[in-house]
Amino acid sequence: MSRHAVVSPDAPRAIGPYAQAVASGDLVFCSGQVGLDPATGKLISGGVAAEAERAIANLEAVLAAAGCRLADVVKTTVYLSDLGDFATLNEVYGRRFAAPHPARATVGVAALPAGARVEIEAIAVRRPG
């Protein structure tokens, strides 16, 4: 099966040897997004809630470039630098991802790129047509 990179100018560009997402058949595998402002490349201020909002908006832009929406996401992995932020993340996540919510794993990590507090990656299924 073929695969190709997905690129969105409305999300932060990849800062290493990876794609914002890779599409293969009906599946879209999105790299993790943090709360970077795509215009400046800098981490936004406002804490974990603001970073989660921006990370999801960045994912939304990458998904759109692949012909998907947040409603097409079937699985996410969320990385938190402080699991004490779990409830705040859930509030933002529950508002942005509609039911039925994607399957999800949440992992506590020692650090994230750019000093971020949250990173979110996703797998989506493209709709036919």
Q: Does domain 3-125 have CATH number 3.90.1150.10?
A: no
pLDDT higher than 90, residue 57: yes
What is the average pLDDT across 71-100? Answer: 98
Distance set, CA 52 to CA 37, 92, 121 (Å)? 12, 7, 12
Structural contact between residues 80 and 47, judged by C-beta atoms closer than 8 angstroms: no
Reported pTM: 0.96
Per-residue model confidence (pLDDT) at position 127: 84
29 vs 14, more confident: 29
DSSP state, residue 103: E
Q: How far apart are CA 20 and CA 95, in angstroms?
A: 24
What is the average pLDDT across 56-73? Answer: 98
- The amino acid sitting at 58 is N
Per-residue model confidence (pLDDT) at position 129: 62
The share of the chain scoring above pLDDT 70, in percent, equals: 99
